Chains A and B, each alone.
Chain A
Amino acid sequence: MTLAGSLAAIILVALTAYALLGGADFGGGVWHLLASGPRKHEQRRLIAHAIAPVWEANHVWLILAIVLLFTCFSPAFARVAVTLHVPLTLMLLGIVLRGSGFVFQSYGGKGERTFALASLLTPLLLGVSVGAIASGSVRDVTGEEFVHGYIRPWFTPFALAVGFFALACFAFLAAVYLTLEARNRELQEDFRRRAIFAGVAVFAIAAIGLLLSPQAPLVQRGLLATSRAAALHVVPAIAALTAFWALWRRRYRIARIAAAAQVALILWGWGLSQYPYLVPPDLTIANTAAPRATLELALVALLAGAIVLFPSLFYLFKVFKAGSDSVR
């Protein structure tokens, strides 16, 4: 793989980490909103307890992805920022309201509803943006009028379907992780049921997305026509079935791994199916890559950063997440 290709892959890794960790924090907000039944308050307390120490660190993955994108592929960043101005701004509002709503409620203020509602907005618009990029409609719109240039590219059935798909995936991840965080069996069962329900939703929306995929020719070709197709379908499907099986049999640790693998593989499937394009129809890895000096330094910085980062992250999760699977 070329240097630029490796950096593009690292950006996808950062996005994957954001989806698996930060995404689940947003999914927690969804279950906060949908908390119900006799253990409503316990559910909410569990969610807050699980998110509080880690959400800010989880959130930095998104920042890392953005910073790498504008360092290494600045024309792609500029294109996305111009054409997707509206959904990205709304997504930012979601990020601001989710984060501040969450701390306000944790520290004695109000903000629960804001936190929960904003947790819907951000995954939805993140998905819409990804869907718009995948469908190749993020063109150069300089000089076009507002609706045609700045709304049409993303306000499409396909992009919206990807938005709901992202929301369902994040909710699914959160529910699966929460089965391991739960302190008692009833609570665990609550989230097991929710996980199965969300998993079904993920499947249903994926089917709709597939029906709409003629709107995203690159993805469609990747999913249906090329030799990669088999791998791109079969592997996530195996992961998904494993997750269902494990949830059914209450093998929560296996469910966690399978659910995370499923979401990661879907993201990688997207990446592979539009390779070598970063922002189809015209921006590729090669034609947007920064000069070699920048790419080399970025890689060095990433390696140096990783040496600091991974032990620290490991410690964080060891302190707060080990031993949380106390119910066997």
Chain B
Amino acid sequence: MIIGHSSALNFGDHVNDLIAARSQMAVSLAFHIIFAVIGIAMPVLMVIAERRWQRTGEPVYLDLAKRWARGTAVLFAVGAVSGTVLSFELGLLWPRFMQLAGPIIGMPFSLEGFAFFTEAIFLGIYLYGWERVPPRAHLAAGALVAVSGSASGIFVVIANAWMNTPIGFTLANGMFTSVDPIAAMGTPAAFPQALHMILAAFAATGIGVAGIHAFLLVRGRTNPLHRAALTIGLIVGAPAAVLQPFAGDIAARFVARRQPVKLAAMEALYETRAGAPLTFGPGIRIPRGLSLLAFHDPNAIVRGLDRVPRDEWPNVPLVHLSFDVMVAFGTYLALVSLWAGWQVLRKRDLHTQRRLLWALAVAAPCGFIAIEAGWMVTELGRQPWVIYGILKTADAVTPMPGLVVPFTVITLVYCALALIVTRVLYTQIVQ
């Protein structure tokens, strides 16, 4: 297990293959995450709807649960196959990373494997067992799908957190000795990332559902189904969206301490300074804002990019832009959620408030965009490292030549799948 390798290929080919591999990984993950977050949160919505049906006997809730279940079946299947692709791609694209890290991060992946099993088993029972199992068992199956969905999300994010803040081993001559997988799972980034990710899944999916049905309501379909869906979507999404900036703040403070280069890139801070300002886009600056946010001290010293050699910088403009996009969309989601909550407190009927409904409709895709942007921050901000400070991405890539070919094929297949899924869902749910 030696880090670094001398490729017989010439340098230019290696760079192209590396870019293709990174792009393929990015496309595969960006595709999978959409289905994954829906797979985490949608079972919760279905279970709430089914529970309401069992309690009130109102058929609209049963109708809703069944429609959602049909949509989830399609999304879950695409999530499962795209996740399988990822498990293989970790080796197909980054064999040297997996060879080194497998014994350490294999643990969360193994636990995730069992979470997948329970998820798939009980989803099968939930989707196809309406007539075959008693109502309570059916509801319990749904609840188990929801629990194992969250568990699989948490485990895989722990593996990713370890790449950001690797611990649980000693490194000698490019080899890991005295490996401690349990300590590795307690990596400092695990808690903030997992918390932020699970909230993200609930916020994006809940508000997404609420937004779609809000749109249909404003467009004049005053069908009770849409009202019920809007309410349940908000129950799941709004609290998460309000909490998310706080979770993001926790994440940011961990990044500030553990991954200073990523923080500097997120904030486009080129020079180390005390009382660092907060920058939005190219123009807006809040004096001392960054020191305050990252360390809760207006005069704290924030390390800038000048502390690391140029060839160890991530892509600063892209990381900074992604971070701003996430924060902007996150702020919008939190505000809309607070607004909805305020209306509920004032005992207003949400379903007739056209301006709120429009705001929710606009919010529908925002959580998903924030998730993609957030992962860009995490992953691009870690470059050029795949294991922060230990293994460079360039040294992890497979020696296989011609990687643009699989990259192109995977991208085309996923584009086609995205189109078809959209069409199938449209016919399933909306009509």
Residues of A in contact with B (beta carbons under 8 Å apart) = 52-54, 56-57, 59-60, 62-64, 66-68, 70-72, 74-75, 77-82, 85, 88-89, 92-93, 95-100, 102-104, 106-109, 111, 141-146, 150, 290-291, 293-294, 297-298, 301-302, 304-305, 308-309, 312-313, 315-316, 319-320
Contact = CB atoms under 8 A, between A and B. Distances in A.
B323 interface: no
A53 B76 CA distance: 13
Contacts of A93: 409, 413
Contacts of A81: 88, 91-92, 95, 98, 398
Of all A-B residue pairs in the complex, the 3 with the closest CB atoms, nearest first, are: A71-B106, A74-B102, A81-B91
Contacts, number: 226
Interface string B301-321: 000000000000000000000
Given A62-B84, A63-B87, A92-B88, A56 B124 contact: yes
B400 A290 contact: no
A68 B91 contact: no
B215 interface: no
A141 B413 CA distance: 29
Contacts of B125: 53, 315-316, 319
B85 interface: yes
A99 B77 contact: yes
B132 to A, nearest CB: 5
Contacts of A74: 98-103, 106
A102 B77 contact: yes
Nearest to B107: A297
Nearest to B111: A301
Given A107-B74, A291-B176, 6 more contacts: A53-B125, A96-B413, A150-B400, A293-B180, A293-B181, A320-B132
B208 to A, nearest CB: 20
Nearest to A68: B110
Contacts of B99: 74-75, 77-78
A57 B124 contact: yes
B122 to A, nearest CB: 7
18 contacts: A54-B124, A60-B117, A66-B87, A70-B91, A77-B91, A82-B91, A100-B81, A107-B73, A108-B427, A141-B399, A293-B178, A294-B103, A301-B114, A308-B114, A308-B117, A312-B122, A316-B124, A319-B132
A64 B417 CA distance: 25
B133 interface: yes
Q: Looking at B74, B84, B125, B179, which has the most chain A CB atoms within 10 Å of its CB?
A: B84
Interface size class of B (residues with CB under 8 A): 35 or more
Q: Looking at A57, A109, A141, A150, which has the most chain B CB atoms within 10 Å of its CB?
A: A57
B98 to A, nearest CB: 5
Nearest to B97: A78
B281 to A, nearest CB: 38
Contacts of A95: 81, 84-85
A66 B413 contact: no
Contacts of B124: 53-54, 56-57, 316, 320
Given A81-B98, A85-B400, A100-B417, A67 B113 contact: yes
B392 interface: no
A57 B113 contact: no
A102 B125 CA distance: 18
A15 to B, nearest CB: 14
Given A82-B400, A143-B8, A70 B121 contact: no
A72 B179 CA distance: 12
Nearest to A150: B400
Contact of A312 (B117, B402, B417, B421): B117
A316 B126 CA distance: 10
A56 B110 contact: no
Nearest to A309: B117
B200 interface: no
B106 A72 contact: yes
B118 interface: yes
A319 B133 contact: yes
Interface string B401-421: 110001001000100010011
A248 B406 CA distance: 46
A104 B77 CA distance: 10
Interface string B340-384: 000000000000000000000000000000000000000000000
A111 B129 CA distance: 24
Contacts of B424: 103-104, 107-109
Contacts of B420: 100, 104, 109, 111
A304 B81 CA distance: 25
Contacts of B139: none
B423 interface: yes
Nearest to A49: B128
A217 B348 CA distance: 78
A46 to B, nearest CB: 15
Contact of B120 (A56, A77, A85, A290): A56
A103 B128 contact: no
B286 interface: no
A82 B95 contact: yes
A92 B84 contact: yes
Given A104-B420, A320-B128, A142 B110 contact: no
A290 B406 contact: no
B78 A103 contact: yes
Interface in B6-65: 7-9
